[in-house]
Amino acid sequence: MLNPEPKLHAPLGLLAELTHRCPLGCPYCSNPLELDARETELDTETWLRVFKEAAALGVLQTHLSGGEPASRRDLEVIAKSARDAGIYVNLITSGVGIPDARMEKLADAGIDHVQISIQDSEADSADHIAGYRGAYKRKDELARVVRKIGLPLTVNMVVHRANIARISDMVALAIKLGATRIEIAHVQYYGWALKNRAALMPTREQVDRAVEEVNTLRERHKGEIVIDAVVPDYYAKYPKACMGGWARRSLNITPGGRALPCHAAEIIPSLTFWNVREHSLRDIWMNAPSFKAFRGTEWMQEPCRSCERREVDFGGCRCQALLLTGDARATDPVCHLSPHHAELAEMAADRTEQPYDYRRLKAPAPQT
């Protein structure tokens, strides 16, 4: 029996995309191709209000993200407001553009945890992937400062064809840097990543080896570091429960203030998004049509509609369904029961060697 009136949980997490400005140009970025310009970003006061409303709504944790959140000069004020509201504050940073003294100020302001993305264990390759010479060195330095200050550190490694052979080295690097957790996240193909799919896609054999390697590394480093791994979509049998279910547990705010049920939702043309400039977070969570669109199971088509996993994975990812089938209500083609599942293998087979199309605002692509 479908659940037409799903119980409305409070959101637990808020991804605050403070800005799309970023010194790096990673080709796997999941930000939209149309990035928000600086002039359209929310002002400080609005963010302070958003965090008060978020806490009142039940949000326990926020990820200050971007782009590079430190591109905003008011990051300390924003972080403090979230912490003062009683929210756990995770800073997601490229690691570039935060001088040591600023990291100390950010810790004083109330950052509870830092996540630094590192593109590869080899400096030249890492800099090439990031599209920024010297990025690796700066990340390494910032990680050491974070640990010296005493903040917990997570290293994030986005895995693709150019670095998939060095997962073990990346785990060793994360341990050396004092991280207590590493995220091994295979590329999810939205935004810039979809544009660069052929240049990023690993082979099935590489992915199988990587999955085995992660299992071995987990055993070897038990008690030393937590290894979280996101399974690569295109080679999976079942889809991920994207966002833990649409508008079920978390929400995103874009730099310009649009409230989204997931970071890629703006690609779904049938949806419009309320802005925190005009609506309270509570109003958005309870009433915004875009949040109600795929909440629960009522919207589902077959095979999801009668599937016993429909409240396990919620039919997978709405954005991926739209991108790959043209219908946001379709079963995510990652699912082996989707009529489009076979097409994924064809898409994954296109691994054309080509230069990266680096993520950028309007400026020319960075070079290394």
Residues 183 and 113: their CA atoms lie apart, in Å, by 14
Of 92, 135, 225, 304, the one binding ligand SF4 by CB under 6 A: 304
Tokens of 53: 């409303």
Interacting partner of 251 out of ligand FES, ligand SF4, none (Cβ under 5 to 8 A depending on kind): none
253 vs 101: CA distance, rounded Å: 28
Among 262, 281, 324, 344, binds ligand FES (CB under 6 A): 262
Interacting span for ligand FES (CB under 6 A) from 108-116, 169-177, 299-307, 314-322: 314-322
Query: What would the two tokens of residue 344 be?
Result: 């994924």
Q: Is 105 in the site for ligand SF4 (CB under 6 A)?
A: no
Choose from ligand FES, ligand SF4, none: what does 332 bind? Cβ within 5-8 Å by kind: ligand SF4
β-bridge mates for residue 258, sequence order? 275
Residue 318 touches which member of ligand SF4, ligand FES, none, C-beta under 5-8 Å by kind: ligand FES
* Cβ 188 vs Cβ 236: under 8 Å: no
**Contacted by 310, from ligand SF4, ligand FES, none: CB < 5 to 8 Å by type:** ligand SF4
Q: Does the footprint of ligand FES cover residue 253 (CB under 6 A)?
A: no
Give the H or E element holding residue 139.
helix 135-149
CB under 5 to 8 A by kind: which of ligand FES, ligand SF4, none does 335 bind? Answer: ligand SF4
Burial annotation 323-351 (CB, 10 A radius, 16+ → b, else e): bbbeebbbbbbbbeebebbeebeeebeee
By CB under 6 A, tell whether 303 contacts ligand SF4.
yes
- Residue 26 annotated as binding? yes
CA distances from 258 to 155, 248, 333 (A): 28, 18, 28
Q: Which residue has the tokens 């972080």?
A: 79
- Please tell me whether 335 is known to bind a ligand: no
Annotated binding residues for [4Fe-4S] cluster, as ranges? 22, 26, 29
Residues interacting with ligand SF4, by CB under 6 A? 238-239, 303-304, 307, 309-310, 313, 315-316, 331-332, 335, 337
